Amino acid sequence: MSLEQLVDLSRFYGANPQWVLAGGGNTSVKQNDTLYVKASGTTLADASEETFVRMDRTRLAGVLHKEYPRDADERERQALQDLMDARRPGEERRPSVETLMHELMPFRFVVHTHPPLVNGITCSREGQSAAQRVFGDTVVWVPNINPGLILARAVGDAIEAFRRQHNDAPRIILLQNHGLVAGADTAEEVRSLHKTIFGQVKGHVARMPDFDSIPYDGQRSELLAYQLVKRAQELDSGTPEYRSVLLTNREIARFVRSENAFAPLARAFSPDHIVYAGHRTPFLKLTDDIIAAKQAIGAALGAFLAESGRIPPVVAVQELGVFINGRTQRKMDAAAALFLDAVQVAVHAESFGGAVPLPPEQTEFIMGWEVERFRSQVSAGE
């Protein structure tokens, strides 16, 4: 029965873009000595009983307390292998990298999401103080830290500190530049808790994003899309099937008025934004000079490719909008969804002192992390 309830919860939150997008987020349920946790790269919206990996909770506790090398790459490699070894016999799928965090939450059900409304706090300048203002002393705040084993241990330390102070476990954890973790012992309590969280944050937000459609220069957008595709094909000759489409609305138009106005969206807010929409969004000031436009587009795409090994999924053009680029419709849809999510985060963060992106060192770690490459490939169907 618990697994059926977990599937229902996963589909409920996975189907709502105000909670999670693409392959983001994860859920779990504890049944005695077994933890059922979402497999890496799967989507909550499409969850079934086969989506979840059965984990040995005793072995997970061993991972949490084991001494690992100081070198980050070697530490995460060994921790990942130990996580894989903690699967129950017969399990072949890779468990979510955040499995240990689920194990640490002392509740039967745990739901981890990336709601843009809540991330308006986690990705804001006021951050922790805003969280305390909204939720009081019921929330645990975990500062920016690289994902994986180190994050899990930081969450564990924060839970224990909360226990010592309140003689109880926290039901709400906010991960800076990442998202929300919420736990409860029944599915009904999970839904009620999330409804309360949403209402509390919304009560402190000054305005909601305006995604109404606006007129735009169709001829210019088609010309620039053609140039983006052509430059992408030249830079990445092995994949000639690139496409590019314009995405704009009233809110995007407000951000692309100038490079300064676009600054809140220039760099990624969270791991999911890096995976699906890129670690940064190039901003181009283009004139009607086609030769200059070709050069600017080529330089922007080339620089991004050198940094990340791929063509930028999103490119902004001043006073026009953003172009979504990709080789498949699935990747383009994910990039568009995550960019629009970032727009929402930026707008909500205005109510909490303004938006703050991931620190450069954490962005660099995530871009080179094998775990995120695996998740991206699986969720893209590669």
Question: What is the pTM for the complete model shown?
Answer: 0.94
pLDDT exceeds cutoff 70 at 98 = yes
Three-state SS for 106? coil
Which one, of 43, 145, 179, lies nearest residue 366 by Cα?
145
The model's confidence at residue 151, banded by pLDDT at 50, 70 and 90, is very high
Q: What is the pLDDT of residues 169-194, one digit of tens each?
A: 999 999 999 999 999 999 999 999 99
Give the DSSP H/E element, type plus range, for residue 287: none
Residue 59's contacts (CB-CB under 8 Å, 6 or more residues apart) are 82, 85, 86
Residue 91 predicted with pLDDT over 80: yes
Q: Residue 48 CB: number of other CB atoms within 10 A?
A: 11
pLDDT of residue 102: 98
Say how many CA atoms lie within 13 Å of 8 toward its Cβ: 10
CA distances from 53 to 59, 84, 88, 108 (A): 14, 10, 8, 16
CB atoms within 10 A of CB 101: 27
Share of the chain above pLDDT 90, in %: 89
> pLDDT class for 375, splitting at 50, 70, 90?
low
**pLDDT tens profile 280-334:** 999 999 988 889 999 999 999 999 999 999 999 999 999 999 999 999 999 999 9
The rounded percent of the chain whose pLDDT value lies above 70 is 96
Question: What residues contact 32, with CB distance under 8 A and at least 6 apart?
Answer: none
Mean pLDDT value of segment 140-161? 94
Give 382's pLDDT tier (boundaries 50, 70, 90).
very low
Q: Any idea which residue has 């029944």 for tokens? A: 186
Domains of the chain are 2-202 (3.40.225.10), 218-379 (3.40.225.10)
Average pLDDT over residues 38-50: 95
Separation between Cα atoms, residue 377 and residue 375, nearest integer Å: 6
Which has the higher per-residue pLDDT, 376 or 67?
Answer: 67
